[in-house]
Amino acid sequence: MSPRIAKALVHGLLIGAVLVAVFPLLWMLSVSFMHPGEAGSLPPPLLPSHPTWNNYQALFVRAGVGRYLFNSLAISTAITVLSLAFNLMAGYAFAKLRFAGRERLFRGLLGMLVIPAQVAMLPLFLTLKYMGLVNSYAAVVLPAAATAFGIFLVRQYARGIPDELLEAARIDGASEWRIFGQIVLPLLKPIMVTLAIFTFLTAWNDFMWPLIALTGQEHYTLPLGLASLAREHAQDSELMMAGSVVTVIPVLALFLAMQRYYIEGLLLGSVKG
């Protein structure tokens, strides 16, 4: 095969794959600007004949999607901030501070990685019910406020901090909190960014636990709101597409802006052990 044909073939295959990967997303965007019923014609239309904002208006005015958007933002941000703080502290302690039983505790932590989260869901629901927390933001935020995986990532990264740096600060009389805040945190910035994006995206996209923990629509996140809309308005494809756009665009934009860090986290995270 001549190099030119090979090159054309490789690019042809890749362009085909990109079309398949991106077409549903572009079509979703396009249909969200169509008039009611327009998407249900044959052949399926690619572009809206008269683009309209009506679906988005209906979504926010009638379907209360603004509320879901706010909930998603609030819950994902809270989870990101809390888990970042907790995971950074714990990861640093596992990497750099000495205490009795450190290795054993860490091995236990790694063991938790193989347990699927769904096993804990039923008792967790009951516990939260007795605490009166079902159907509150706390029910979604608290269980996600620390993760074995996040601690593991931070620990791997923090092991690279030279001990001399910390010892020198201790000799100068700095307290442990000060060392953490002024020396360690700035050094951990790259992993902080990576972990923050990862956590935010995961929290935003989560479905099963919020579905269980949030029983009233006023606390619904976007995926929950969308799923319940899909059950009520199965025929309104244009409205549903607009809902999907609102749900997907924020995370897609975040990913596109912070790609480098996200991919880095993906690779760090996949090299377990």
Partner 1 sequence: MKRPSAAWWFLAPAMLVLGVFFLLPVVAALALSLTDYDLYALADIRHLRFVALHNYWDLLHQPAFWSALGHTLTFVVVGVPLSIMVSLGMALLLNSPLVRCKSFFRTALFAPVVTTVVAVAVVWRYILNTKYGWLNYVLGLVGIHPVDWLGDPHWAMPSIILFAVWKNFGYNMIILLAGLQAIPADLYEAARIDGASAPQQFRHITLPMLGPTLLMVAILTVSGYFQLFAEPYVMTEGGPLQSTTSVLYLMYNEGFKWWNFGMASAVAFLLFVIMFAVTALMLRLGRRGATA
Residues 245-264 that bind partner 1 (CB under 8 A): 245, 247-248, 251-252, 255-256, 259, 262-263
Nearest approach in angstroms of CB 126 to partner 1 is 7
What is the secondary structure of 192-243 as a DSSP string? HHHHHHHHHHHHHH--HHHHHH--SGGG--HHHHHHHHHHH-TT-HHHHHHH
Q: For residues 200 and 85, give the distance between their C-alpha atoms in angstroms, rounded to a whole number.
A: 14
The answer to the question of residue 168 lying near partner 1 (CB under 8 A) is no
Instruction: Tell me the site size for partner 1, rule CB under 8 A.
Output: 99
Binding mask 126-145 for partner 1 (x = CB under 8 A): xx--------------xx-x
132 and 181 Cβ atoms separated by less than 8 Å: no
Output 54 or 174, the one with its CB closest to partner 1: 174
Binding mask 182-221 for partner 1 (x = CB under 8 A): -------------------x--xx-xx--xx---------
Angle in degrees, CA 26, 29, 34, rounded to 5: 125
CB under 8 A: which stretch of 22-30, 59-67, 157-165, 188-196 binds partner 1? Answer: 22-30
Q: For residues 266 and 268, give the distance between their C-alpha atoms in angstroms, rounded to a whole number.
A: 6
Pull the structure tokens for residue 211.
Answer: 């579905």
Helix, strand, coil shares of the chain, percent, nearest 5, are: 75, 0, 25
- Comparing CA positions, the residue from 15, 48, 10, 8 lying closest to residue 29 is 48
Binding mask 89-128 for partner 1 (x = CB under 8 A): xx-xxx--xxxx-x--x---x--x-xxxxxxxxxxxxxx-
Nearest approach in angstroms of CB 189 to partner 1 is 18
| Residues in region 45-84 near partner 1 by CB under 8 A | none
The answer to the question of residue 43 lying near partner 1 (CB under 8 A) is yes
